[in-house]
Amino acid sequence: MASTINKKVLLTVMILGCFLSTLNQTLLNVALSSFMDIFSVEASTVQWLSTGFMLVNGVLIPVTAYLMKRFSTRQLFIASMLFLLAGSILCAVAPSFSVLLAGRMIQAVGAGIIMPLMMSVVMFIFPVEKRGSAMGLIGLAIIFAPAIAPTLAGFIIEYVSWRWLFIGLIPFVVVIILLALKYLINVTEPQKAKIDVTSVILSTFGFGLVLYGVSTAGRDGWNDAIVLASAIAGAAIIVLFCLRQIKSADPLLNLAVFKNRTFTMTSLINILVTMMMYADMTLLPIYLQDGRGFTAFDAGLLLLPGAIINAFLSPVTGRLFDRFGAKPLFIIGLLFIIPSMWVITDLSSDTTYLFLMIRTVFLRIGLSFITMPLNTAGLNALPKELITHGTAVNNTVRQIAGSIGTAIVITVFSTQTSNYASELTLEMPDFQAADILEMATASGTSDAYYFMMILAIAAFIITLFTKTKTAEKSA
């Protein structure tokens, strides 16, 4: 009984911490244009509030397998919350953009630790037959927080003050730290582990350059010299990093996880689904605000019903995973996602707000059946000694896939919108520039969703060939 209570308390505290960390990560997406006015900075500068956060987060994730070996659960979780607290306080009182960015980077350190830590803890404390339910609860944080962030941020920006984006987090983070100090137990004890400094350097520069390159490609285009140089140099360094991990007796990130076919196949599906999810969260608000004239709050509000349904469904799909396995859930989820992408490949200025809201609900239902079951199925297939490395690989893959997916989709959207605007200007010279931009934006968005529909179909085909078997009967 004691162990059951400990598991519940442990999971509750960690889910609350993860929820705040994930909410904070996506809270600023709809506020960037406001910060441009507040601090008198260009779009390329303000973008660093998102890009910088993602870079620190992405660079730190590959190191988490070592951190989980070297430090205890309590130490890592409390450290991640302290970074989030310190960063939030600095952002809340920021007198300038540079101070705000520094606070944002400090927040990112905490976010980079907590997600792989929480997934590893679940895999260690729950037997195989109960992991789906536990991971389903984690889904509340991973999917629900980013889904409500635009609505919440839009409301705060429009009706209160931008500083409350950070002030509002502070008391909640303090409460979670106090709960962790009182209730959090150590799942694993720290070991004396040596760190491969060369691997850390290769990981930092490799993943950092790739993430920087692809995150700026959506803004500057893939022909930009800095974008190309960053992406190519980063990819080359990652190859060196991978070769070093394969040859090492004690790798920083054990790539032996990819010898497991189930883990590899679920990772491929994870890449495609994450690309779609992040790209949709970025593209739909752009279409609503730039193409249709809705406010940031309106754009965020459209996502809210889907987020609420997602919250109720995530624990349900976790229990379904424990009962029926992963593959049926993947198929059901993608049968919701594919039509959700297809129905908005023909957007126009007449597409209604209600139609887009209902479509987003269907997309979120589909994601509920895939996101956490996908992670659970991949990690279940690994032996216990590889689970920390599996979670680090999973989260690294998600970070890069989300950035690449967003960059490609924004590039498709920007290029096609520009092409359509040029064509429409020639075809309809009497039309107002605003009307032409509205039509071009709708057509450009439609083309970007064609690309996402192709990704969804590819994920469905991979799913049909994926076998999901567990590495152990019980934990």
- DSSP 8-state code for residue 335: H
The pLDDT assigned to 43 comes to 67
pLDDT band at 119; cut points 50, 70, 90:
confident
474 domain-assigned? no
Of residues 221 and 80, more confidently modeled: 80
What digits encode the pLDDT tens for the residues 293-342?
Answer: 887 778 778 888 888 888 788 888 888 988 888 889 999 999 999 999 99
Both 87 and 166 in a single domain? yes
Of 136-140, 241-245, 323-327, the range with the lowest mean pLDDT is: 136-140
Of residues 452 and 195, more confidently modeled: 452
50 domain-assigned? yes
What digits encode the pLDDT tens for the residues 353-379?
Answer: 999 999 999 998 998 898 888 888 888
Give the residue from 185, 162, 199, 57 showing the smallest Cα distance to 114.
Answer: 57
Instruction: Return the residue matching tokens 């992406």.
Output: 231
Residue 293 belongs to domain with CATH number: 1.20.1250.20
The residues, ordered by sequence, that sit 6+ positions from 210 with a Cβ below 8 Å of its Cβ are 230, 231, 234, 235, 238, 400
70 domain-assigned? yes
Both 276 and 331 in a single domain? yes
Both 110 and 246 in a single domain? no
pLDDT exceeds cutoff 60 at 440? yes
pLDDT exceeds cutoff 80 at 276? yes
- Total number of domains constituting the chain: 2
The pLDDT assigned to 453 comes to 93
475 domain-assigned? no
Question: How many CB atoms neighbour CB 43 within 10 A?
Answer: 10
136 domain-assigned? yes
CA atoms of 71 and 79, how far apart (whole Å) = 10
Mean pLDDT, the chain, integer: 84
The pLDDT assigned to 49 comes to 83
The pLDDT assigned to 2 comes to 39
pLDDT exceeds cutoff 50 at 215? yes
pLDDT exceeds cutoff 60 at 475? no
Are 252 and 245 in contact by the 8 Å Cβ rule? The answer is: yes
396 domain-assigned? yes
Of 266-270, 298-302, 457-461, the range with the lowest mean pLDDT is: 298-302
pTM over the 0.85 mark: no
Give the residue from 173, 196, 187, 200 showing the smallest Cα distance to 71.
Answer: 187
CA atoms of 251 and 52, how far apart (whole Å) = 27
Both 268 and 333 in a single domain? yes
Both 37 and 107 in a single domain? yes
pLDDT band at 469; cut points 50, 70, 90:
low
pLDDT band at 107; cut points 50, 70, 90:
very high
The pLDDT assigned to 78 comes to 93
The pLDDT assigned to 44 comes to 67
Both 45 and 107 in a single domain? yes
**Phi, psi (rounded to 5 degrees) for 416:** -70, -40
Give the residue from 174, 173, 155 showing the smallest Cα distance to 165.
Answer: 155
The pLDDT assigned to 471 comes to 52
Both 342 and 283 in a single domain? yes
Both 180 and 224 in a single domain? no
Of 3-12, 271-280, 315-324, the range with the lowest mean pLDDT is: 3-12
Both 83 and 113 in a single domain? yes
Domain stop point among 251, 283, 317: 251
The pLDDT assigned to 178 comes to 93
Are 443 and 417 in contact by the 8 Å Cβ rule? The answer is: yes
pLDDT exceeds cutoff 80 at 267? yes
The pLDDT assigned to 304 comes to 83
42 domain-assigned? yes
pLDDT exceeds cutoff 50 at 427? yes
Are 21 and 139 in contact by the 8 Å Cβ rule? The answer is: no
Both 136 and 151 in a single domain? yes
The pLDDT assigned to 287 comes to 84
Both 318 and 226 in a single domain? no
Both 387 and 427 in a single domain? yes
Question: How many CB atoms neighbour CB 460 within 10 A?
Answer: 18
471 domain-assigned? no
The residues, ordered by sequence, that sit 6+ positions from 457 with a Cβ below 8 Å of its Cβ are 338
Q: What angle do CA 336, 338, 344 make, to 5 degrees?
A: 105
Full residue range of the structural domain in which residue 365 is found: 2-195+252-464
What digits encode the pLDDT tens for the residues 17-75?
Answer: 888 888 888 788 777 777 878 888 876 677 788 778 877 877 887 888 788 888 888 88
Instruction: Return the residue matching tokens 């995973």.
Output: 321
Give the residue from 234, 211, 212, 214 showing the smallest Cα distance to 222.
Answer: 214
CA atoms of 185 and 222, how far apart (whole Å) = 47
Of residues 242 and 428, more confidently modeled: 242
CA 300 to mean position of chain CA atoms: 17
